[in-house]
Every structure is written in C-alpha cells, then in structure tokens.
Amino acid sequence: MSGTDGQKQGSRVIFNISKEKNFPDWFGEIVKVAELADIRYGVKGFTPFMPWSVISMEIMYDLYEAALQRKGHLPMIFPTLIPESNLRREAQHVEGFTPQVFWIREIGDGEELEERLALRPTSETAIYPMYALWVRSWRDLPMKRYQRASVFRSEVKSTRPFLRGREFLWIESHNVYATHEEAKAQVREDLETTKEVVTGELGIPVMVFRRTQWDKFPGGVDTYAADTLMPDGKLIQLPSTHDLGDNFARAFDIKYLNKDNEMVYAYQTCYGPAISRIYGAMIAVHGDDRGLRLPFKVAPYQVVIVPIVKSSTVEQVMNYARQIEDCLKESGLRVHLDDREQTPGWKYNFWEMKGVPVRVQVGPREVKDRTATVFRRDLLTKETIALDKLEEYIWELGADMDRTLREQAEARFEGLIVDAWSLEEIDKALDEGKVARVPFCTTEMAGRECAEIIKEETGGDVRGTRIDVEERAEGTCVACGKSAGAVVYIARSY
C-alpha cells in the first residue's frame, strides 16, 4: 500500500476542527486533507473516491458480502441500463423514481434509440423480469441473491461526498419466497445483518424503524430502516429493507408452481446497504477534533511505524523498525513503516489525522530495551511494550479499540430519546439535539398531513415506529388531536 502516505507532504496535517460545534466544516475538511474524495470532478454529485477511503470501503464490501453469503445469498451482476418499459411496469415505483432517472437516448454520432434506457436508480425493474423466467416451481425457492453495484439518482437535495451523491456504491439483495411469512422473516434477517455488520463490525449504533406509508419504498408494502445519529444531531438512514409483498410479482409476473400444482404469485424482499454512505456515517460517528478514527477492522493501515532517528543511530533504528514491520506483517496486520524525511512530530499529526488506529514509535531507547512505544488513536494514550509481546498486544489492542469506538458511539445514544406531548415540546427536544417520542394519529397515508404540520412547525421528520421495542400509543396525536394510534419518533434528518 505504498503511496497512501499522503502525496502532498507540505500540506496541513495538524487537523483541529470541532466536530460537534462545526460538523459541516469538519466533514468537508477531513474529506479533503485525509484524501478520501475530491469534489472538484465537475459534475454535481459525482465524486471520485481516493485510495484511503476505497481500501476501507473494499473491506466493508467484503464484510457485508461474507455476511450475506453465510446466510445463503449468491452474487450476481446485472446490467446498469434498464429499458424504460421495465421501469413503467410497477406504477408507484415508476412514479417514485422517474424524477431522479438519468436517461440514455443517443448513441455515438447521432444514433437514436427506439426506447430510452435508464441508468439504474435501483435494480428491481432490471432483475424481476429475469426472476420471472428463473422462478418456475417451489423447488426454485427461496431465491436469495445480491449484487454489488453503483446506482444513479439525480437527488434534488444538496449532495455531499459519501453521505449523498448522485452515484453511490451499494449492495442490493433481491429475494423471492413462496409465502409472505417467509418474506417477512427475510426482512428480520436483513435487520439482523445490519446490526451484525454496521454495529457489530463498524461500531455504528442504530435505531430500527418501520417507516410510515408515505415514506416507504415506492411500490413496496413496508419499509424498515436503521438510522444512526450524526454529530450535528440529525439522524441519517443506513440500510433499509423492503417487504414487497406480491406487488412486484404481480407487476413482473413472477409465479411458481406450488406443491398443489397451481401457478401462484411469489413474495419478495429487497435490501440495500449503501457502502459509500455507511463509510460517510462511520467517519462522522467515530472521528474526533484531530481527524479520523478508523476502526481497526477496516483501516487501510492498522499500524504505522514511526522511527525516531538521529544521524548517529539511523541504521540501528531503521533495522529495528524494519524487523518490527516484517514481524507484524507476517502476522497478517496491515502495517506501514513511514521512512519519509519529516520529523516524528509531523508524522504523529499526519497519521492521527488519517485515523490509523495504532502507532508504533521506535528510537534508540526502544532498540536498547528491545521494546516499542505503542500509541492508540482512540484514547490518545501510549504504553511501552516488550518486543516479544508486541504482535499479540496489537491484535488485542485492535479488538479493544473497536469495542471502545462502539461504546463511545453508543453512549451518545443514551438519553437521546425524550417524550414529547406537543409541538412545542418536540421543538424544544430537537433544539437540544434530541429525538422526540410522540403520540401520533396513524402511520397510514391519512397521517401524512400531520407529519407535514410537524415538519413545518419543528423541522422534524417522522422517522416511523420502532420495531425493536414494543410500544403502546397513549393520548392524542400531537398534530391533529385525534386519538393516537402509534408512537412515532421525530428527528431532524438527512
């Protein structure tokens, strides 16, 4: 991985921006100085991702794909282009996505297509006509598949690298079942997968909601989504999973011969973890005022070795540093020896900004004592470790650091939710960066107007009802005063 050690050696490396007080600046600046992405590409919402973020995102893809494969999903790869007629087969779906579609009509020097092709905004309408051919009998079910892909949506909201782009990186899993019950079980499995990967591996805590009927996936029956809390007090949606019922099966004619020899419609689900967005949330949640704090599991370099040399000791120290490098690499760690000409202090700042979890410092004293000084990025503390214990120590430290990042993030969730019984109380809660739990008339379409009132009066969005907690509605809707049918959560959000 040589070359990721910052090409611009003269550039600013003492990063010092308050993440809590000024999150937009913090985010924009860390994306730039840590060389994660470059916003100067020149097409709104399209951003080249640079090696320091891509290496981590590739590991995140691996973690996610491994989890899906363990649960029986197989990879496939579908075309990026979808005929317009496919897109039009499910009425709500086309209505929901058409405003965001990039269309292709022209080829080469003026050839015109008979039918426009859409750049996929999501792939239901590419995949399901083929599923209609592939699913024949109950023996073919369940069909659990996924693809890694980039998708294209001309967002009207303002774009930001990783968090909201017009092209973003994701995985989309598309599944077919014989019964609605099995499809619903898949939805629960997807939510478990979210918790396993997003929280378990990456340390990002989430709250899981069933979205309202006006905020669900266009064409589906129900949408369930995991939200996390950003440093500016807003919620951001991480993976969502959709119970499609048999809506798409009817639109795309996905039928199977059941055991009674009848052709019946199948039931479907889809699930879409957006790797680039999860990466953006991850750096936002874990970063501090000095820059990135990358989880040990996904850091491009898990360990950086900084030699402390004077001209009289250079050979001795460098040999010792190389010996440590070899030994740690041997054990499977992603290690980098920083032998550039800058001072150790410059390098400390640089690698703290880049978020490398572990720094190993070695100078004449360490050579003499056969030790190493080990600095941990999460707590900014250091310890002296004997050389023969170093490898084992770092592996344990890595696991401990990932646990620490997760616990720190979870601590921010505590006390986050406050009950509110009126628009004023909601407003107050949101101003304090909290999430309001409120009685609400209904999450069916009839409740939409009340949500609009809340949005107008407080700036908060109805995120839906919790499914990981049982809650009974009491009292009256905060907006219309009718008897409350649901407990919903209100938050400012992305």
Q: Contacting a second copy (CB under 8 A), which of 32, 88, 116, 482? A: 116
Quick one: which segment of 68-76, 205-213, 399-407, 465-473 binds a second copy (CB under 8 A)?
Answer: 68-76
29 binds a second copy (CB under 8 A): no
- Residue number with CB closer to a second copy (340 or 370): 340
36 binds a second copy (CB under 8 A): no
- Residue number with CB closer to a second copy (24 or 99): 99
Per the DSSP assignment, residues forming a β-bridge with 37 are: 49
How far apart are alpha carbons 454 and 459 in whole angstroms? 7
41 binds a second copy (CB under 8 A): yes
Phi, psi of 492 (to 5 degrees): -75, 145
What the block records as the tokens of 180 is 């609605």
- Residue number with CB closer to a second copy (133 or 311): 133
Please name the residues in contact with 420: beta carbons below 8 A apart, sequence gap of 6 or more. 426, 428, 429, 436, 437, 438, 478, 490
DSSP letters for 7-64: S-TTS-------TTT-HHHHHHHHHHHTTSB-GGGSSTT--PBPHHHHHHHHHHHHHH
How far apart are alpha carbons 366 and 371 in whole angstroms? 5
Residues 322-381 that bind a second copy (CB under 8 A): none
- Residue number with CB closer to a second copy (142 or 363): 142
DSSP 8-class letter at 363:
-
> Which H or E run contains 149?
strand 143-152
Residues 75-94 that bind a second copy (CB under 8 A): 75-81, 83, 86
3 binds a second copy (CB under 8 A): yes
Quick one: which segment of 43-51, 283-291, 312-320, 420-428 binds a second copy (CB under 8 A)?
Answer: 43-51
Q: Contacting a second copy (CB under 8 A), which of 22, 28, 50, 476? A: 50
Please name the residues in contact with 338: beta carbons below 8 A apart, sequence gap of 6 or more. 5, 304, 305, 306, 307, 347, 351
- 378, 392, 403: which is closest to 294 by C-alpha? 378
Residues 134-163 that bind a second copy (CB under 8 A): 134, 136, 139-140, 143-145, 150, 152, 154
Q: Which residues bind a second copy (CB under 8 A)?
A: 1-4, 7-9, 38, 40-43, 46-51, 54-55, 57-58, 69, 72, 74-81, 83, 86, 98-109, 111, 116-117, 119, 126-127, 129-130, 133-134, 136, 139-140, 143-145, 150, 152, 154, 167, 169
